[in-house]
Amino acid sequence: MLKNLLGYLSKFVTPARLALFEKVLNERTNYITVVLEDIFQPQNASAVLRSCDCFGIQNVHVIENRNEFSVNKEVSLGSSKWLSIQKYNKEEHNSLKAIKKLKKDGYRIIATTPHANDQTLHEFDVEKGKAALVFGSELPGVSEVIMSGADEFLKIPMYGFTESFNISVSAALVLYEISNRLRELDSEIWKLSENEKDEIKLEWIRATVKQSQLLEERFYTEMTKGQD
């Protein structure tokens, strides 16, 4: 059914746009995912989303404890439209729920911190398995819940007086390094499956085609008539 629906809705998208979708999907990954915990500055949140899109990270997990996540469209340049964003904001301990789900899905939790004994970005083992990179709020950093549940800790080497990078800069530096090393691995390790590509492509088409919901309703109506 998914293939049939894709074929139907694809008729309303230009060949050039479909080719671009295929090109981008071929570089997307779920092997690495990004987790944003309690980010309160829209500019920073939006810049991180933009970096995720640029470096091929498809899934972003957003934890809202005290702060509501919001996007600055001038900074994100529409990048959120092409990402799969899951929010955790329904419970008292949203951070705990997020890391439990990610671990269940096979991710190791990597807390980004400036602590002295953490592994550096250059030491990070990409081949070890799927990784969820957690970036914390602008001032306090990742919460104690994340620190307690983390499997590993990661820092970016710094040589000046300032103790930490801005979160959007940190995310960009980490994703640049890791995404480059990721692409040196066997593509079967990090690339999306064909079914994952189809599911994401469907969401992108829905976001692109005007009145896509009405077109889907027409598709299912025609399918039902064909089965009578």
Q: How far apart are CA 60 and CA 135, in angstroms?
A: 11
- Does some domain include residue 1? no
Q: How far apart are CA 61 and CA 67, in angstroms?
A: 14
Write down the pLDDT at residue 116: 57
- Does some domain include residue 177? yes
Q: Report DSSP letters for 37-63, one per residue.
A: ES---HHHHHHHHHHHHHTTB-EEEEE
pLDDT at residue 227 is higher than 70 = no
- Does some domain include residue 22? no
Handedness of CA 77, 89, 29, 172 (dihedral sign): positive
Q: Is 50:75 a contact under the CB 8 Å cutoff?
A: yes
- Does some domain include residue 2? no
- Does some domain include residue 60? yes
CATH code for the domain in which residue 144 is found: 3.40.1280.10
Q: What is the pLDDT of residues 9-38, one digit of tens each?
A: 999 999 999 999 999 999 999 999 999 998
Q: Is 65:38 a contact under the CB 8 Å cutoff?
A: yes
Write down the pLDDT at residue 104: 97
Q: What is the pLDDT of residues 107-165, one digit of tens each?
A: 999 999 877 568 999 999 999 999 999 998 877 789 999 999 999 999 988 888 887 78
Q: What is the pLDDT of residues 160-183, one digit of tens each?
A: 888 778 889 999 999 999 999 999
156 is in an annotated binding site: yes
Number of domains in the chain: 1
Domain span including residue 100:
28-203
Residue-level length of the chain:
228
Write down the pLDDT at residue 141: 84
pTM of this prediction?
Answer: 0.91
- Does some domain include residue 67? yes
Q: Terminal CA-to-CA distance of the chain, rounded, Å? A: 17
Write down the pLDDT at residue 25: 98
- Does some domain include residue 17? no
Q: What is the pLDDT of residues 58-115, one digit of tens each?
A: 999 999 988 788 776 666 667 889 999 999 998 878 999 999 999 999 999 999 987 7
33 is in an annotated binding site: no
Q: How far apart are CA 175 and CA 22, in angstroms?
A: 22
pLDDT at residue 228 is higher than 60 = no
- Does some domain include residue 225? no
pLDDT at residue 2 is higher than 90 = no
